Structure formats: C-alpha cells, structure tokens
Structure 1
Amino acid sequence: MPRSGSFFVALCMVTIAVSVAALAYLVANVEAGFSTAIGFGLLLAMVIGHLGSQRSGDRLVVEARLADLTRVTGDVARDMTELARRVERFETMAMDKARAATEPIAEEIGQLGALVKQFAETLQVHEAAIVRATAVAVQPAAALPPVGPLAASLSAAVPATSPDTELPPQAADVPVAAATQAQGANSQRLIETLRQRLDRSDLAPALEAVLPDVFDGLSRAEAVASITAAIDSRRIDLYLQPIVTLPQRKVRWYQASVRLRSADGDLLLPSDYRELAETAGLMPALDVEALGRCIQVVRRLTSRNRDVGLVCDLAGVSLGDAAFSTELVALLDANRALAGSLVLGFRQDAVRNLSPLDIETLGALSDLGFRFAMDGVGDLRIEPRDLAEKGFRQIKVPADLMLARAGAAGAAIHPADLAGLFARYGIDFVVEGIETEPLVVDLLDYEVKFAQGPLFSPPRPVRAEVLSEAAAAPAPQPAPAARAPRSEPRAEPRPAEPQSLGAAALALGAVGAPREARRAGGIGQGLRALIRERS
C-alpha cells in the first residue's frame, strides 16, 4: 500500500509538471526548451517538498515512539528498584532470623571451646605432676644428687626408702588408687621439705641473682608482689614510638609499649617485668589494661588521620587464658570499626608455640578484620606463607640481624631479598633499632619500605589527658558478660599452678547441681557464670 501510494503521488507530480509545460508552450507561447525547463523545475520542487514533508512526519513518529519507549523503560526501572528493595529486605530479614537462631549456638560453642582448652591444659598439668610425683616417690632418697651442705640436712629430714621394702600385711588389700594417693602425698611432703631446705640454704641468693637490676635487693617473691601492686593500682604508662616510611619518613604506625611504675617511682621496662609477670600469671590482666588504652589512642588517631595505625603488643601466654581470650574477642568485636587501624603484636617465640586453640582465637580475630604483627625476631627462618595464612600483615626485624650475613641471620635467602619476599604475601617488612643515617642508606639499598628506631623518635609517653579525652568520646562498649571483673589488690603473688577453669568445671560437674536448677538456668548460663567466676 505505501508503495502504490508513492507511485500515485509520483504520477500526479509528473502529470502536473507536463501540464504546466504544455500550458506554457501552447497558451503562453513560451519556447519549447524553456517550457520543458519550467516543467522539470516544478517537478523537482514538488519532489523535494514531498520528501521533506515525509521525513518530518517520520521524525515525529520516531520521536513519539522514543517517548513511549522512555516511559516504558522508566516504569521497568522503578519496578526493578522496588523488586531489589523487596529482595534486600527479604535477605535482611532472613539474615536476622538466621543470626538470631545461630548466635546462642555460636556462643555456647565458643564457651565450650574455652572449657575444653582449660580442661586440656589442666589434664596436661596433672599428668606432669603425676609423672614428677611418681619419679620422686620411686627414687631412693640416698640416690638424690648432693647439693653441698643441703644434702646432709635433707637426708636427715627424709627417711630413705627402698624398692625392696616389704609392706605390712594389711597393706596388701589396699586398692591401687589408695596406694597411688599415699605415694603422691609422700612425694608432696618430700617436695615441700626440699623447698623449705632450699629456701634456708645458701643456694637461694644465687637463684634470685638473675633478677633485673631494677629489683636489686629484692627477692623474687617481693619483685612479683611489686609488679602485682603496680598492675592493681593501675600504675601503667603507655609509650608510643613511630614507624615511618622510607625514604619519605612519614609516620605510618605507632608502636605501643607498656611501662610499669613501682611504689618507689622506678620505671619498669618490658624487659624487666615480662618474665616475672608471665611466670606469675599477671600478663592477661596487664594485656587487658594495655589493650583498652590502645583502643582509646586509636580512636584519637583515626579521628585526625585515617592513614595512621597502632601496633599493640600482647603476650603469647595471655592467649592460653580462656577468660582473656573470651574478653579479647568480645572487646575487639565491639570495636570492629578500628580493625583497619589496630594491629596486635606477638613475639616470634610466642608465634612458634601457638597451640591449635590459640590459632583458632587468632582466626576469630582475623574474621573480625584485625591483623597481627610479629616482633622479637631472633632468626630469619620464617615462612611468609604460614604467617599470611594466620593473619599476620607485619614483621619487625632488628637492624643488626637484617644487615648481617645470610648465614649468621639464619635466612634461606639473602636479607636483601626479604622485603620483596614478604611483600609478595602482603606482609609489611619493618626494620627496627635504627640509630644512624648510614643504616638508613643500607636499608634503602635493600628496598626496605618501613623503619623504626631512636633516629626517628624515641618512645614517648602518652599524656593522661589524651586517654581521658579518648575515653570521653562516644564509642561502642564490649558486652558486659565478657568483661572480666577486676580483682582486688593482691598482697601475695599468684601460685605457680592455680586451679584452672577446666578443673573447676570438672569439680562443678562432680558435685552436681539439681536437675531443676540446670533446666531453669540452662547450660549456657552455667558456663558463662563459671567463666565470669574464674576470670
């Protein structure tokens, strides 16, 4: 139909042009050539006008169709937006329901894991005690190695026994468990006698001579009591030392370290109190206090500059404490927004001695977004892949170890290639202990990007007003159930082998609570109460 209409229009145009040319030739007596030109020009004008009108009509039709298509597209976009909103709301509701259903189970599993960890540690301690007691019980007193003047007094205090000594007749019917218990009691009395003799002997001053110089004139028990009093009285100072980039020397992190102040005002460095505090079981309480202050400092740092972070050192033995691990996870979960700016530091020996449960604790912190650093490096026999899998993103190596020969440093590759090797696994390589400018030049030759040392700045104390301002700022608080209550000031150091949480759980199970109380309180509440009590 459109083609036949076009043919008709063309025929009409030709007819009109011929008619006009004929009229001009016949009526107006115009020459034939001129009349033909008039007819052809008229035909051309009609063709051009028709094409223009047809194109304008087509344009209007296309514009109308485009407007309809735009309207339909807008409707589809609105429908898709509404559908996406509904799907997102559905996903949020589903996740909330799933989280509400799984959170109690996850909490129970975490608490059960802590109890299993404590039970394993308690079992290991008990096995070692049984082995020691058995070894001491079956060994004749005369076979003990002489300890100078102590041997004679000890032989007089402890009667000699022999494996061939016959038991009284009534002892034949005693069960094996009772005989073992009696043997353990005898061994315990032997150990106590040996300890008392040792305290009164001339060896005690020699054993206590290994204390740091700051404890000169104090016994080991008095030194531990001084450290305990400093922690309980919160005489704790936080020091910061910058970690800078090379060669720009721009501050990238701050290294946090803790100093204690004794009652006499003496400043105790970590090298002075760490060994005593770890032996006495004081590091978890100190690490909790230090971590809380580090979080306050990080809040103040991030409020000014998001590119600066803080490395907070923790003791590896603290991870073995179930109450500390629970509180650590809860505290960092409440401050998850600081994950990109807070790095937890551990020493190399602690990293190498991590237990499977300690690795699980680090994995839980890594899932929250927190990363770890390793310092106190004594040798370079380090596998970057293992560190990266555990969540470590920073390693600090002393300058003298870094610049030593490869054989002396214990590295499988040349130290000049270490920075690039760790960088391939996403681990920042930091060299500490920089004191002179020539060391910086050597590190630039080794392509080291980060450095720390007195050359850039010594450790400086954090002002009290900084901590008070950071504490006054609004911030999420950890769950109250995970917070370990602060113990009263202790006049004596903790015993070397305290009863663990696992032993308390076993004792609680042996005593047995009423069935109605267990049903009313639930397993989770009982475990949480036990953890709070033991922490």
Structure 2
Amino acid sequence: MIRISTIFIAICMVLVAASLGFVLYSVAGISGSESAIVALTALTFLILYNAVSMRLRDRTDVGNQIADLSGGTADLARQVAEFGRRLAAVEGRVTSANSTSADRTQALAGEINELGTLVRELAASVAHHEEMLAAAPVVHAPAPPPREDLIQPSAPAPTYAAAPAYAAEPEPELAPAPVAAIPRSQSQLLGAIKSAIDENRLDIYLQPMVTLPQRKVRYYEAVTRLRDERDQVLAADDFIAVAEAGGLIGRIDHLVMVRSVQVLRRLMVRSKDVGVFCNVSAATLASPGTFIQCLDFLEANRALAPSLVLEFKQATFRHLGPVESESLAALAQRGYRFSIDHVTDLRLEPRELADRGVRFIKVPAALLLDDRQIATTDIHPSDLSDLLGRYGIDLVAERIEGERSVVDLLDYDVRLGQGFLFAPPRPLRPEGASATADTPQTKPQDLNGAGNPAPVSSPAAPRATGNAALARRAVGPN
C-alpha cells in the first residue's frame, strides 16, 4: 500500500515541474512544446533524485535494523550460555548429592548387615555354651585319687585356631618376623647402621591399616628395619635417633622411599585401591642435598603420588622452618599427600594442616579414649573425626590392641584403624619367592591378630568378647 507521504511528494514534484514550465512559457516567452519538455525533464530529475534518496535512506535503515538484530542475537546467545552453565551446575549438585546419599546408604546397610551377623554369631555361641553347661555331669564329691600304676598319659587337649576376621585385600606375601637384636653401645650401633646401609640390608615391614568396622585393608605402613652382619634386626626406635645424630637419616629415608615405591607397585598389580605410608624425617626436609635427591626420585614416580603418603611426626609440623616449609610445598605441588603420627596431644589446627597438604592424622587409641583430654582441648575427642573430615583429613586410630577399644572408637566415628589387634608389622616376602618355601607363609588370621592364637576351648570363643560388646550396643540392655 502506497504511503500518504509518497503521494504528497509525487504531487509536489508534479506541481514544481508544471510551475517551471508555466514560468518559462509566460515569462521567458518559450513556446508551449518546449516549456512542456523542460517541465517533463525537471519532473524526471525530481523523480530520480527522490528514488536515489529513498534507496539510500532505506539502506541506512536496513543496516541499523541488522545491527540491532545482531546485538539481540548476541544477547540471546549469552543468556542461553548462562542458563546452560546454571543447568550444568544444578545437575552436578544433584548427581553429587545422589552419589553421596547412595554411598552413605550402602555403608549403613553394610554396617547393619555386619551387626546382624555378629548378633547371630553371639546367639549361636551362647546357645552352644548353654548346651555344654546343660550336658555337663553334676559332681557331688571328689573322686578318690587313682593308683600310680593305673595312671596313663592323657591325650593332648584339642586346640582350635582363632576364627579369621574380615578378609583383607590385597594380601601381600609376608614372611615371618626375625628375632630382635641384642642391646649394643651407641658407637657399635652407628657402625652397624653404616654397614647395613652400605650393604643394602634395609628391610621393609608392612603393617595394614583397616577400615572400621569392616576391617578391610585399605593402606599399609612401611616400617623400616635394619639387619646387622649377624642378621639381627634393628627396630626403628633403636636406630633412628642414632642415625639422625650421625647424619645417616637422609640416606635411610631415600632407601625407604625407593623400597616403598617398589612395594606399592607390587601391591597395585593386585589392586589399584591400595596405598602405602612412608615415614620421612625432619632432617631430610632440612638438608637441601638429601631432599633434592628424594625430590628427583618422587618426581620420576609422580604417577604414584595419589597412593604414596609421606608421614611426618607432629613435632616436625610444629617446628617447621623456612627450608622445611619450602620442601613440604614442593612435595605438595607434585601431588603428594602427608600424614602426621607420633601425636602427643589433640591441640590441632585442621585448616592450617589441610592447607599444607595433610590428609591423615594418626592418633593413639589410648589418647582418643582418655577422658583427661577433654580438659586440655577445645573439642571433645568424639567430635574430632567430624571436625577433621570437614577439611578433608581422615582420622586414623593406631596402636589398637583390644576389641573393647574398637567398640569405643566406633562411637567416635573413627573409620580407619591400625594396631597389633589386626596385624603386627611383618616383612615382605622377597619377590619371586615360592609360597611353599622353608619359611611358612603368613596365614590370613595372622593378618588380623598379633602372634599365634592361644588354644581355646571353643571356635567361637576368640571373638566372644567383641561380639558381645557389639551386640549389647545393638540390642540394648535386657
């Protein structure tokens, strides 16, 4: 539809051309035909000028409209991208919440099933003992002593092996522990340490760290032992102080790191979900030459960083100097995690420790269960596991020696345990050694109890105490 402005412009152009022809005809004396030609020519030029100007104006309008449309499209794309990012974040939160809820539900179901198994075992044990008591004859008077010539040697009483605890995986092949070394002077001990290092008589003993209450092996701690020229064992407590005083601890730490990586590679062949704790001395962090050697080795094995945990004493973290802090930062930068042991009190700073890369804290079970710690700390020991967990630190209860301690630690929400109750430190069998060699292989029950079990009168007796304690907490007092 033609706009009114266009009709008005056309009428104006016709009037202007006609006026021009009339002026030429009346004033200039030009003939009518010539005046008409001039008027038509002027009308033609006006029409062309109007057409060109309208085309230019339309092009400008179209350009502005295209620019506006491009800006709107860009804004729409930006809004769509923002909505997509928000939707992805919401989906991630929902997925994380669902996975966390599923993990907690699965863990709770496992604990409930385990508790039910313990209650059933306890009921069977009690029923068995009641049957034995009911079947026992009543003795009214002591029988007369038998004659000497009628006494026969009695048959040996039957013995039962301790009931194996929960399965531990992976189970490395462990050799029996050698006999402890005899006492010696400091100079003799220093000479024995130098000789053992030079002749590569450094052994790695493994002690498992298990999950509670399932008692499934999750980590191993590499414990250092040295053998002298007579194959007598030097425990870590016997030679560490002397080695630090003699400047040999750096060489020992480097050898321990090498052996720990070798052990970790052997363990990861059977299971990827396993880790090794390796003890490192404060003197190694403070010695630039020794630390650079260790750092180069750890850099070469950086792929194992998630499974190799470097362990330091609590006193080391409380007296860090500039050099030690830089060394720790270099290790943390390469992805290695730290653990703290030899804890003497519960005055901890979880935020600061987490910032330094600490992911595990080992506390003796006796220290956690000591009521006197309540007065010396700002937090109750039962809340310590939750507090550390907020900063990504796992609490490990070590030196556990009794089932009663395990029951109390479960009330403190402790999820990892270590101690002679589960297994003592045992040397790793050399790679390639046969399981049927002269040295007997460690049995599964040796991985979950210290030493050989004593003879008992019933197969259910070894775990009766722990089962009864757990059953009482599950069903309540009668």
Under a length normalisation based on structure 1, what TM-score does the superposition of the two structures give? Answer: 0.46
Residue 355 of structure 2 is matched in structure 1 by 389
| Match among 372, 394, 397 for residue 431 of structure 1 | 397
The share of aligned pairs that are identical, in percent, is 48
Q: What residue is the counterpart of 1:303 in the other structure?
A: 269
Give the counterpart of 2:247 among 250, 257, 281: 281
Structure 1 partner of 2:464: none
AA matched with 1:392: V
Residue in structure 2 matching 1:457, options 423, 440, 443:
423
Matches within 5 A, 1:175-194: none
For 2:228, the equivalent position in structure 1 comes to 262
In 2, the alpha carbon distance for the partners of 1:230 and 1:361 equals 28
Q: Is 2:207 the partner of 1:241?
A: yes
Instruction: Work out whether residues 406 and 415 of structure 1, in 8 Å CA contact, stay in contact via their aligned partners in 2.
Output: no
Q: Tell me what 2:408 maps to.
A: 442
- What is the identity, as a one-letter code, of the residue corresponding to 2:230? D
Q: How does 1:5-154 map to 2 (within 5 A)?
A: none
Q: Which residue of 2 aligns with 1:421?
A: 387
User: CA offsets, 1:232-289, max 9 Å, x none?
Assistant: 1111110001111111111111011100111222211111001111111110001111
**1:272 matched to which residue of 2?**
238
1:304 is displaced (CA, Å) by 2.0
Cα distance change, pair 278–409 in 1 and its aligned pair in 2 (3 A): farther
1:204-236 CA-to-partner distances (Å, cap 9, x unmatched) read xxxxxxxxx9563x4322221111111111111
> Partners in 1 of 2:374 and 2:293 — Cα distance?
41
- Counterpart selection for 1:365 from 331, 335, 358: 331
Partner residue of 1:379? 345
- Aligned-partner Cα distance in 2 for 1:287–1:420: 33
Q: Is the Cα contact below 8 Å between 1:380 and 1:411 reproduced in 2?
A: yes
- Specify the code of the residue in structure 2 equivalent to 1:352: R
Whole-angstrom CA distance in 2 between matches of 1:219 and 1:431:
34
Query: In structure 2, do the counterparts of structure 1 residues 279 and 333 end up closer, same or farther at CA, with 3 Å as the change threshold?
Result: same
Task: Say whether the 8 Å CA contact 1:317–1:350 is kept in structure 2.
Answer: no
Equivalent position SS for 1:290: helix
1: CA distance, partners of 2:223 / 2:352: 26
- Indicate conservation of the 8 Å contact 1:302/1:341, yes or no: no
For residues 331 and 295 of structure 1, the distance between their equivalents in structure 2, rounded to whole angstroms, comes to 10
Post-superposition CA distance 1:400-428 (Å, at most 9, x none)? 10100153784221110111111111001
Would you say the 8 A contact 1:215–1:223 is kept in 2? Answer: no
> In 2, distance between residues paired with 1:410 and 1:283?
34
Deviation at 1:466, TM superposition (A): 6.2
Is the CA contact 1:345–1:375 (under 8 Å) kept in the aligned structure 2? yes
Contact 1:346/1:372, CA 8 A, preserved across alignment: yes
2:17 is aligned to none
Structure-2 change in CA distance of 1:409 and 1:372 (3 Å): farther
**1:412 equivalent among 341, 363, 378:** 378
Give the SS at the match of 2:239.
helix
Mark the CA change 1:364 to 1:412 in structure 2 (over 3 Å): closer, same or farther. Answer: same
CA distance in 2 between partners of 1:295 and 1:455 (Å)? 26
Once residues 449 and 439 of structure 1 are traced to their aligned partners in structure 2, the CA distance between those partners, rounded to angstroms, is 13
Q: Take 1:281 and 1:445, find their aligned partners in 2: how far apart are those partners? A: 44
User: Partners of 1:409 and 1:343 in 2: how far apart?
Assistant: 32
1:48 is aligned to: none
User: 1:315 and 1:435 mapped to 2: Cα distance?
Assistant: 27
Letter of the structure 1 residue corresponding to residue 304 of structure 2? L
Offset of 1:303 from its aligned partner?
2.4
What amino acid is the match of 2:297?
A: L
Contact 1:373 1:392 in 2 (8 A): yes
User: Which residue, out of 400, 413, 429, partners 2:366?
Assistant: 400
Q: 1:279-331: CA deviations, max 9, x gaps? A: 11110001111100100111122222111111011111111111111112211
2:210 alignment partner AA? V
Aligned pair in 2 of structure 1 residues 410, 256: CA closer, same or farther (>3 Å)? farther
Q: Size of the alignment, in residue pairs?
A: 255
Query: Residue in 2 aligned with 1:332?
Result: 298
List alignment gaps of at least 5 residues for structure 2.
1-179, 434-478
CA contact (8 A) 2:367 2:373 kept: no
- Alpha carbons of structure 1 residues 351 and 409: separation in structure 2 relative to 1, 3 Å: farther
Determine the structure 1 residue equivalent to 2:289.
323
**What is the distance in 2 between the residues matched to 1:302 and 1:362?**
26
2:294 pairs with 1:290: no
1:40-85 alpha-carbon deviations (Å, 9 max, x no partner)? xxxxxxxxxxxxxxxxxxxxxxxxxxxxxxxxxxxxxxxxxxxxxx
Alignment of 1:441-520 (within 5 A): 441-465=407-431
- Cα deviation per residue 1:323-345 (whole Å; 9 max; x = unaligned)? 11111221111111101110000
- 2:203 counterpart SS class: strand
Aligned letter for 2:370?
A: A
Match of 1:112 in 2: none
Q: Give 1 or 2: higher helix fraction.
A: 1
Structure 1 segments (4+ residues) deviating >6 Å = none
Larger relative contact order (C-alpha < 8 A, sep ≥ 6)? Answer: 2
Instruction: Supply the distance in 1 between the matched residues of 2:208 and 2:186 (Cα, whole angstroms).
Output: 34
For 1:466 and 1:453, the matched residues in 2 are separated by 28
Displacement of 1:447 in angstroms is 0.7
Aligned to 2:431, what secondary structure does the other structure show? helix
Q: Does 1:252 align with 2:215?
A: no
Residue type matched to 1:447 in 2? D
| Aligned equivalents of 1:409, 1:398: Cα separation in 2 | 18
